[in-house]
Structure 1
Amino acid sequence: MNHSLPTGWTLKRLGDITERITRKNTINNDNVLTISAEYGFIKQDKFFSKIVASKDLSKYILLYKGDFCYNKSYCRGYPYGVFRKLKNYDVGVATSLYIYFKITEGNSNFFEYLFDVGILNRQLSIISQEGVRNHGLLNVPIEDFFNMIIPFPPLDEQKRIAEVLSLCDDVIENLTKLIEKKELYKKGVMQRVLSGEVRFKGFKDEWKIKKLSEISKSIKTGKLDANAMEENGQYRFYTCAREYYRINEYAFDGEALLISGNGA
């Protein structure tokens, strides 16, 4: 970390501004959550289209809104894991494989943004044992994790930074909604153009019908179903579910057109 800081900023141990969370699920909460880089905390049955947690949830970690998680698994764009804040649920439970904590000093919204830009990546690369993984997770010692150093601006500046970045998020959200509307329009156009219902001027030749085998190199049938998934697998695993799973072995290396076998 660059120790050349703006005036008024200081450096603090992560452990000095946070409190580790290890509380077990003694209240029998059944809101099982998964921590995703893209979606943050999300219901496990929504992310995987099923519950992959064990039936006994008593050893899971009990979390409340505002708590943080450090997911030690590699995620696309996050080579040293990802930090996420519980925002969409008041309470939930998650696997004890990850590191959980809450902010005890400072603006939690500010630190949510700070973690997301990879401010701790360099230190994580040093304290994690390179190439050594447990359940697909980086081996990050707890003591070293909370000994990492993090910049700490004045509280009013933390709040202001978080407010500005939140406004940026609002703009992005509105643009995303606009894009979604345009994508729906595009789908309608595609259905009409690709079915031949509407044709461009100057094209009058009849369309041909061919077998898929005539225009493709090979057709193979997958032999695995969603039960083969591994929560922190190294490769993407596509099934008929809306989201892809993870797996530690791959079947195809290259571009491929995937068609669901059950018509989903």
Structure 2
Amino acid sequence: MPLDSLPRLGLGTYSDDNREQWRGNVSTALDVGFRHVDTAQVYENEQYVGQGIRDSDVDREDVWLSTKTVHHDVPPEPEQVSDAIDGCLDRLGVDAVDLLYVHWPSGIYSHEDVLPAFEAAYEEGKTRNIGLSNFTPELLDEAREFLDVPLFAHQVEMHPLLPQEELVEYAQEHDHWLVAYSPLGKGAALEAPEVQDVAEKHDATPAQVSLAWVLSHDNVAAIPKASSREHMEQNLAARDLELDEEDIERIDSIDRRHREIDPDHGPWNW
């Protein structure tokens, strides 16, 4: 599938509670104009995400659907990865997803034990593309050397307080997507004076500026979470916000670093 087939702005669907909300949220997002939805086994909302897609007036083939499995401790054994993939499809109510990620390169993960199940899912038509999430450049190298299937995407946290320069350059060099989760830093990036200054200049929201900054990078997409129609519409409008070179330099000048998702099992902490 060509690189330009991924909608560059999608809907993230993680929440700690009220997982049922994602049925309505996904349907609303598609009505607003989103065509890219991201979920995961561990979010425990795949059934609601799938139902939200079916509830909408948008055809399934027009929706880019991504999910993830192999979390730090789910599933518990490597031989269960194939069953976990099938479980994702069953809960979503689909025959195939557009993109299937390895959620974390920790816990049960080893490239030799896990990646063959992902390749088998690709060969069997259960996923149209394979992705990885929360990997380091070294782990990406290891996986890419092992895989016979092209790596389509790598999903990591990215926002103005965590610009991920090395992983962005890696994606550009190896021609795959970097998909930015938490592209607003769960709100932390919106408090940066540099972001607020650019927002005031463009009569935009800090969230729109943060998203526009993420999307200003080649080979980078973003999946902000939103639960209200208003925020969805505002996020989608960020695609039309054109930051100039001065804006980009202003945001790039931020020297504070902040990582929202920082578990001990994250490979950057090893």
- Which has the larger Rg? 1
TM-score, normalised on structure 2?
Answer: 0.23
Q: When you count strand as a share of all residues, which structure comes out higher?
A: 1
TM-score, normalised on structure 1?
Answer: 0.24
